[in-house]
Structure 1
Amino acid sequence: MMQTDSPVPSSPLLDRMGIPRSLLWGFVGLLLFMVGDGVEAGYLAPYLEHHGVSTRNVALLFTVYGVAVSLSSWLSGPLSDLWGPKRVMWIGLAIWGVFEVVFLVCGIQTGSYSMMLAAYTLRGLGYPLFAYSFLVWIAAATPPRQLSSAAGWFWFAFSGGLPTLGSLFASASIPLIGEVATFWSSLGLVMVGGCIALLMTHEPNGTRVLKKPDQSVSSVFFSSITILWREPRTAVAMIVRVVDTSSEYAFLVIMPSFFVSVVGFSLSQWLVLLSIVFCSNIAFNLVSGLLADRLGHRQVVAIGGCLGGAVAIPLFYYLPLHFHGNFLVAALAGAFYGATVAAFVPLSGLVPQICPNEKAAALSALALGAGASTWVGPAIVTWFQPTYGIEGVIWIFSGIYAASALLTMLLNIPEHAKAHHRRQERREREMNRRQAGSMEGQPI
């Protein structure tokens, strides 16, 4: 069971920004970890294609990797309940490091596609255990009034690294040290970021078992699945979350060759463009989280994310084609697309409010959706690009985003959950009054 203990002394500045002070170094470490994870995002596909791997096999690699990410994303919730988020984050960090070495030594350097496929798939178990267990930790340690803002900072750090700053790092390092050495540098960034988050963050919920005392191990795992039909809103949120970044992972497969071979950009220009897309994304991660606390979660997701994405996706394809070779136009279209992807952030603040007594299970369902998007996007490319081409894939995604706007309108907070939040807020106010009274009684 997820619970928040007595308030931790906080910084007024951090409070206004929506960052829980006790988790500050966790956010910093997550950012560095995801920078390392995102280094390869913009150039792994073209690198493999230039070294003899077919486009179809590249899409298959990304799809199978995404299946592993989906499984691991779902496991992050129940494992955090059983072992505590911090231990699960350590496991994720170790998995990432070990299988990245195998991927580079036995796959990339030998040119063995089968070893690439095996190692890259197993490495896909790593980052969700690290990142989404930290999201569970955030939900355990953050009061409801601040949860959407804290979730915004989580996605700021997450997408700030993958692939925003990761792609910028790659665009700068490839000309200096080469592509293979840049792969290796990502390992160092991941290890440094992981150690910062885990060694410098001491908030107590991270090391606690979060499940209820009378809850069995099997029920912890089953609850993270059965919650999908016990509380159907979580299933809806999961589907909408799949839609959110499915196009992003599809674009990492098809857009490098589109912008380099069709539009005429260099690989470095493509990497810079990708960084611009996600610089916009990380900025609007914060904006959408703050707006959701004020305007409502569903409105931001449905209008800014779903309907915005349905418009932005075709613009990101057609505008660069029409203004051939014009980098500024492509950057503006990409920035708009990145902003619409960020408008889905309030889902991470909304779902724990829908299920206040099962936050880890609800976030596990949402993480499953996030993980599924990593293979659903490439799978749509694999299934439909041979028949309909890139243009057909673009319109398929646009239609999916438009349809998801209707689903989003089902995501309201039930009355029993609202009552729970009112009780929690009253307890928090009473605790703050008592704390203030005890402070007034102390000698100066």
Structure 2
Amino acid sequence: MKRTRYRWLMLGLIVTLIVINYIDRSAVSYAIEPLTKAFGIDSAQYGLISSAFSIGYMVFAFTAGPLVDRYGPRRILLIGVVIWSVVTAVTPVSGSFAGLFVLRVLLGAGEGPGFPAATRIVSRWLPQKERGLALAMVGGVAVSGSLLIGGPLVTQLIAGVGWRGMFWVLALLGVVWIGAATLLLRNTPQDHPRVSAAEREHIAAGQTEEERGRAEGPARIDWRAVLTSRNLWIIGIGYFAWGFMFWGFMYWLPDYLGKQYHLSISAVGLFSVAPWAAGVVGALLGGVLTDRVFARTGSVRSRFVIMGVALLLSGASLIPIFAAPSLTVSVVFISLGVGLGFVTGGIWWVAAIDAVPSQPGVAAGFADAAFALSGIVAPSVMGFIVSATGDFSSGFVVMSALAVIGAGLMLTCTRAPRRPTGTRTESEEHQPA
């Protein structure tokens, strides 16, 4: 029987979801001026509103994991997208600081289940040797790509339909995704009537016994397995380290370029594109490299090595910025650091599945909560450093140091998990039966 490829349709739905997710969460930053004027919000209040999203996101990214494992990712995703689409639509009429603060917390809550649910979809629809590229698309390309296209898209919408209309159009995108997912998205290959037996066999052959055993029905949450997993804790620390760099540059890069090198707004926008373009390349490279190494070795330990080396090089790339700063040096080496960091972009999710394969949603929620925590800490720490010193260099030193610490843990302290039963290397798959 011919092997169908519905697993890639599921991946396409998830990648589209993450793109909409990131555009929606960042849209408010492009409407700062009209929004603050309309609601009478000052800069300090806007800073609190920015943190509100990460607070809601961190809490619900972690709590969504058990819900995803118990009730399935499809149901949780649909509920989450309904919440964040409604919140996006109501944002232009929230009317005050308090109203906007609450809505941003709710937006974080609605978007929190996204990555834990995406991880479970990938773990149930793809064999291990295909997950590196798949999760690089989800956690790397979709994220950095959305930051590349989000700015031009949102600013054009504001110019065309006004800042309020922009939010309503983005809410409509969520509604469109809900319709498509209702028709097409399923929790497992067994749930989809059009998936061929050959494709189901291909997927099952590359899964662990735990994953195959839990492919159907609600899963019991084994908190002990999650909280005692040494590898998962190291993943959380490493993801926090990378997240500190990611969120630090996401919030402070435009301000750094503008103040440090006296660039115009248009020039800042031009130079800010380079790091996220490098992120797309890095994420694709990381996904391809992870899959190829795993296909040849069958060793899940290889994922930690790739992440550790990439994180180490990413941190080292920032050294020239505070050692011998110039506009060219800053743009080139920030782009290099972000690009190398994004090599790990999708592997965190693969490693989380490997660490606790029986609890993929909970493990992903744990990792995502660590990343979200860095989204609260990094902007505040960077802001304190800039306010106290009048310079960004110390902030870059912190980024580099955290990356080196995270890399060191991943390269030296992780345990080599047992090779998954039933998983074959690429060479074994091509041998005759």
Q: TM-score range by the shorter chain?
A: 0.7 to 0.9
Offset at residue 163 of structure 1 (A): 1.9
Residue 395 of structure 2 is aligned to residue 422 of structure 1: no
Which residue among 61, 81, 84 is the counterpart of 1:96?
84
Offset at residue 147 of structure 1 (A): 1.9
Q: Which runs of 5+ in 2 are unaligned?
A: 193-210, 294-301
- Taking a change above 3 Å as real, the CA distance of residues 54 and 408 of structure 1, as seen in their structure-2 partners, is farther
Asked whether the 8 Å contact 1:89–1:129 carries over to 2, the reply is: yes
Residue 11 of structure 2 is aligned to residue 9 of structure 1: no
Residue 326 of structure 2 is aligned to residue 322 of structure 1: yes
Q: Distance in 1 between matches of 2:258 and 2:71?
A: 46
In the alignment, which residue of structure 1 is the partner of 2:394?
392
Offset at residue 355 of structure 1 (A): 2.5
- Taking a change above 3 Å as real, the CA distance of residues 104 and 337 of structure 1, as seen in their structure-2 partners, is farther
Secondary structure in structure 2 of the residue aligned to 1:30: helix
- Taking a change above 3 Å as real, the CA distance of residues 163 and 365 of structure 1, as seen in their structure-2 partners, is same
In the alignment, which residue of structure 1 is the partner of 2:338?
338
Offset at residue 407 of structure 1 (A): 1.3
Matched residue type, 2:307: V
In the alignment, which residue of structure 2 is the partner of 1:310?
315
- Taking a change above 3 Å as real, the CA distance of residues 406 and 290 of structure 1, as seen in their structure-2 partners, is same
Q: Distance in 2 between matches of 1:196 and 1:379?
A: 38
- Taking a change above 3 Å as real, the CA distance of residues 101 and 27 of structure 1, as seen in their structure-2 partners, is closer
| Fraction of identical pairs, as percent | 15
Residue 50 of structure 2 is aligned to residue 62 of structure 1: yes
Residue 121 of structure 2 is aligned to residue 137 of structure 1: yes
Asked whether the 8 Å contact 1:314–1:398 carries over to 2, the reply is: yes
Offset at residue 132 of structure 1 (A): 3.0
Offset at residue 30 of structure 1 (A): 2.0
In the alignment, which residue of structure 2 is the partner of 1:239?
237
Q: Distance in 2 between matches of 1:391 and 1:141?
A: 44
Which residue among 7, 11, 17 is the counterpart of 1:30?
17
Q: Distance in 2 between matches of 1:160 and 1:194?
A: 23
Q: Distance in 1 between matches of 2:41 and 2:402?
A: 30
Offset at residue 342 of structure 1 (A): 0.6
TM-score (norm 2): 0.78
The correspondence of residues 14-413 of structure 1 with structure 2, limited to 5 A, is 20-34=7-21, 36-37=23-24, 39-40=26-27, 43=30, 53-106=41-94, 110=95, 112-202=96-186, 204=188, 220=221, 223-224=222-223, 226-295=224-293, 296-305=302-311, 307-313=312-318, 322-323=326-327, 331-345=331-345, 346-389=347-390, 390-410=392-412, 412=414
Deviates more, 1:352-361 or 1:81-90: 352-361
Q: How many residues align?
A: 401
Offset at residue 405 of structure 1 (A): 1.3
Secondary structure in structure 2 of the residue aligned to 1:286: helix
Secondary structure in structure 2 of the residue aligned to 1:125: helix
Deviates more, 1:276-285 or 1:54-63: 54-63
Deviations 1:156-213 (A, max 9, x none): 45314542221232344445555444344332333334443443334635979x9969
Offset at residue 412 of structure 1 (A): 4.2
Deviations 1:232-262 (A, max 9, x none): 2101101111121222223333333333344
Q: Which runs of 5+ in 1 are unaligned?
A: 1-6, 12-18, 438-444
Matched residue type, 2:344: F
In the alignment, which residue of structure 2 is the partner of 1:14?
none
Q: Distance in 1 between matches of 2:58 and 2:343?
A: 21
Asked whether the 8 Å contact 2:315–2:400 carries over to 1, the reply is: yes
Q: Distance in 2 between matches of 1:317 and 1:199?
A: 52
